[in-house]
Amino acid sequence: MALRHPANDDQQKISFDSDLTICQPREPLKTTPSKRVEAARVLTGLKQDENIDNARVQRSPTIVKTLQKVALMASIQKELISSQIPYVFPSNSPIWKTSIWVVSIGVCYFLMVNISVFLFDIPNVNITAFWPLNGIYAASLLMSPRPLWKYIIAVIFLANGLGNFSLGHDWLLSSGFAVANVVEGGLIAYLYLQWNKSNNALGSFKSFFIFLGAVTFSTGIGSVLGAINLSNAFGWNLFWGFFKSWFAADTLGNCLMLAVILSWNDKHLSLVNLKPIQILGSIALAISTIGLSIVVFSQSSENGIIPLNYLVFPLLIWAALQFEVKGASLTAFIIAFIAHWFTIHGKGPFTIYGASTQDYIFWLQDYLVIMFMTAITLAIAVVERKKVEKT
């Protein structure tokens, strides 16, 4: 096992007598002579009244290395305690618990298919404007051991196919939807784990860029498959329109939903230990976000539309500064949910752009992508700054 000091990239390795290998900073531990001698006495078992050459102790490589190891292990322990530990379904669970876990994922996905189509379906287009379901699917894979992936993929395929069939699509079209969505969500989870290894949290800029790359590439593949399926049913001249709508709806939905789940999936999270000021702040933020989003995006063209869409940015800044990635991702998701619902119904500041609902949604999603990127980038900057301050 290898552990790295969080504040040093250029390091040398040293070994304990055990099988644990750690990394030693190049700079020696900065302590006063008196503290070093006292620590040396304690670590080497010397009594206070024993004669010892203070200068020799201070120069002793063994003592210096021992002190450095102790300080380094304390720093690593502090970093591990303050970092996020995601929940993963235990691989050694009994078969009945595993079955409940897999089936519950499928049932949840099936219900969300019907809810998403009901809320965000674009009339006469056969595509939903906002599709966060593959974010749920990808998160369920990331939270499950690899041996369960094949069962989850099979359950998602059935849930998506049955969900689309229950909405009036034929079996061929429903199966095509299922294939496209299964490939898209599965590829997101696979690439994110391959590129980001075991770190599932959006706690650094590196993990965030990997997250964006995995989501964008995987959604592009899924969009091609979905556009082929739709074009085969409704005409190949509509391929580009299908691809653009699918890609925008799924990319935004996957980013928002997966960011919420990954950031909130934390074993250290405990709402019971929140301070009263934190509880009041979260309630005020939630009420402000919902209220202001409704005001901004419920405007009707009959009464005149005022371009107030950037009024929600102070809320995102508030969420990022006080609640980091958890607050920023959830706030962005709430704003996107409300904005999509009103825009589909012909309301809000983006209904003045374009001549159809698809045009309105396209420009809305461009805006929401910028909003999401701004919020999460600021939140990660706050996290990185706190890490530096701790070290």
Q: What is the pLDDT of residues 138-152, one digit of tens each?
A: 999 999 999 999 999
pLDDT of res. 70: 57
> Using 50, 70 and 90 to split pLDDT, how confident is the model at 127?
confident
Mean pLDDT of the 252-264 span: 93
Would you say residue 334 lies in a domain?
A: no
Q: Which residue has the tokens 């809305």?
A: 364
* Cα(269)–Cα(172) distance, integer angstroms: 44
Lowest mean pLDDT, pick from 26-30, 40-44, 309-313:
26-30
Q: How far is CA 308 from CA 129, 293, 294, 349, in A?
A: 22, 10, 11, 7
Lowest mean pLDDT, pick from 36-45, 244-253, 355-364:
36-45
Would you say residue 378 lies in a domain?
A: no
> Using 50, 70 and 90 to split pLDDT, how confident is the model at 341?
very high
Which of 324, 295, 298, 313 lies closest to 372, judged by CA?
313
pLDDT of res. 5: 41
Domain coverage including residue 32: 12-82
Query: What is the residue-averaged pLDDT of the chain?
Result: 81
Are 189 and 221 in contact by the 8 Å Cβ rule? The answer is no
Lowest mean pLDDT, pick from 63-72, 162-171, 363-372:
63-72
* The total number of structural domains that make up the chain: 1
Q: Which residue has the tokens 């989850």?
A: 152
pLDDT of res. 165: 92
* Cα(100)–Cα(111) distance, integer angstroms: 16
Would you say residue 19 lies in a domain?
A: yes
* Cα(25)–Cα(262) distance, integer angstroms: 32
Would you say residue 257 lies in a domain?
A: no
Would you say residue 180 lies in a domain?
A: no
pLDDT of res. 167: 86
* Cα(263)–Cα(13) distance, integer angstroms: 32
pLDDT of residue 336 exceeding 70: yes
Would you say residue 168 lies in a domain?
A: no
Q: Is the sign of the CA dihedral 270, 273, 279, 281 positive or negative?
A: negative
Would you say residue 233 lies in a domain?
A: no
| Structure confidence by residue, pLDDT tens digits, 91-119 | 889 999 999 999 999 999 999 999 999 99
Mean pLDDT of the 127-137 span: 92
Which of 363, 343, 339 lies closest to 353, judged by CA?
363
Would you say residue 308 lies in a domain?
A: no
